[in-house]
Each structure stands twice: as structure tokens, then as C-alpha cells.
A = this chain, B = another copy of it.
Amino acid sequence: MGDLPVVQAMRYASAGGKRLRAFLVLETARLHGIAPERAIWPAAAVEALHAYSLVHDDLPCMDDDDLRRGLPTVHVQWDQATAVLAGDALQTLAFELLARSECSPDAAVRADLVLGLARAVGAQGMVRGQALDIAAETAPEPLTLDQITDLQAGKTGALIEWSATAGALMAGADTGPLSVYARKLGLAFQIWDDVLDVEGDAETVGKAVGKDAEAGKATFVSLLGLEAAKSRAQNLIEDACNALDCYGIEAECLREAARFVIARQS
């Protein structure tokens, strides 16, 4: 007997993508001397968590997207029930991976990784951001810049911050510099998503574009203008890189990743 459709869908939804969050975990772990065979567990966890959020966000009752990473979304490829369940089980899997002893020999680290991830993605974090985003669609007024910034801090920022601080947490080191790096990076990432929604084509981006403008939705681009949005993102990336000064040349790979965020076409 083969895998149930829900398991096939979990695998399908976890394939591809940029792996930015996993990269941040692995690279910040390396920076703090954590072995890759440990760091792979939180790296896999954050990608499972991210995949869950995409599968649910794509549902007809949410953002209603048919295309993701250039392929049909899970509810198109299977059905909505499978998409709900696959997302649910991917979230569960993320916490399972963090709680396994392979992740860290120190149970306090495992519990702290779980606690931090839960706070980043729950009703005060990622889900809050997504709920604000959905509410914005039917709001009488477009969101302000402060509101969009707040929304995105939840929707994408919190998980990026967890990813970028996981390595320091595993090593018992100060997470402060990486928190600053991640917050700047996360905001730049989202501004650049809005830029791609205007400038990109669906084939390269791998998902529908132009949806926000069509829906009359406020974005960083609609509020700041295209050029100002780009330069805001560039400034944020500069700040993100500077936040890593204490790590010196060792953090160059993280700085390059930050620069990639505002160079990417998808």
C-alpha cells in the first residue's frame, strides 16, 4: 500500500522553494559552532512550518491561489480536505522535529526552540499577520504603512527571525545581533515581494502576480512608490549587514543572502 494522499501532499508541498529559512538556520548554526547534523533538524522544521503556511494560505477561502513555485497548489493537485490536513500535519511535523533528541542533546534547547517557534507562528505571530491580511481585503480604507509593516512583521517576519536566531539559541549565545539582522531582512524581503508583484512575470516568480494591485490592496509599492520601495529595501539590507559586524568576515555568507533578497526575481 502506498502513501496516503495527505502524505504525498506533504512531500509535494515541502519540495522546491528558496529554502531561505533553512539556510538561515544552517548558516547561523555554523556561525556558532553547531554541527550540521544537529542544525538540519530545526532547518527541516522551519521548512515544514513554512510549507504548512503556504498550503493553507493558498486555500480558496484564504488567498485562493492556483499556482505556487510554478506548480499547481495542493488543493488544486488533490482537494481542499487534503490541503487542510497536509498543512495541519506539516505544522505538527515541525514541532516533532524540534523535540527529537537528534536536534540537540540539551532538552532545554529543544523546549526553547519549540517555544520560540510556537510564539513566532501562533495567534500573536504568523497567524495574526495572515488574519490582518485577510481583514484588509474587506476593510473600508487601505492599510497605512505602519499597519502593513506590523502585518508583515507577523506574516513573514517572525518566522524569519526565529530561523536566524535558532543557531545562537542552540549554542546558548546572544541572539540580539541576529534578531536585528532578521527583522531588517524580513521587512526587506516583503517589500521585495511587493516589487516582484508589480515588476515580475508569473513564470519567473512561480506564482500569480499583479493580484495586489488588481485588488486595490495597499502594498509597500502602492504606498511608497516603486523606486522609494526599492531604496527602502536596499537601506534595510544595508542595516541588516551592519548588524552582523560583531561576527566579522565569518558572517559574509549571511550578508550575501541578505543582498540576494533584493536581487531575486522569484
Given known contacts A62-B84, A84-B84, is B134 in contact with A118 (CB within 8 Å)? Answer: no
| Chain B CB within 8 A of A89 CB | yes
Distance between Cα atoms of A80 and B92 in the complex (Å): 21
Distance between Cα atoms of A132 and B122 in the complex (Å): 28
**Which residue in B99, B117, B127 is a CB contact (below 8 Å) of A89?**
B127
**Which residue in B4, B92, B95, B111 is a CB contact (below 8 Å) of A132?**
B4
Size band of the interface chain A makes with B: 35 or more
- Work out how many copies of this chain go into the complex: 2
| Chain B CB within 8 A of A253 CB | no
**Which residue in B4, B10, B122, B131 is a CB contact (below 8 Å) of A96?**
B122
| Chain B CB within 8 A of A40 CB | no
A131 pairs with B62, CB closer than 8 A: no
Given known contacts A84-B84, A123-B7, A131-B4, is B99 in contact with A115 (CB within 8 Å)? Answer: yes
Q: Which residue of B lies closest to A59 (CB)?
A: B84
| Chain B CB within 8 A of A180 CB | no
| Chain B CB within 8 A of A15 CB | no
Distance between Cα atoms of A56 and B56 in the complex (Å): 12
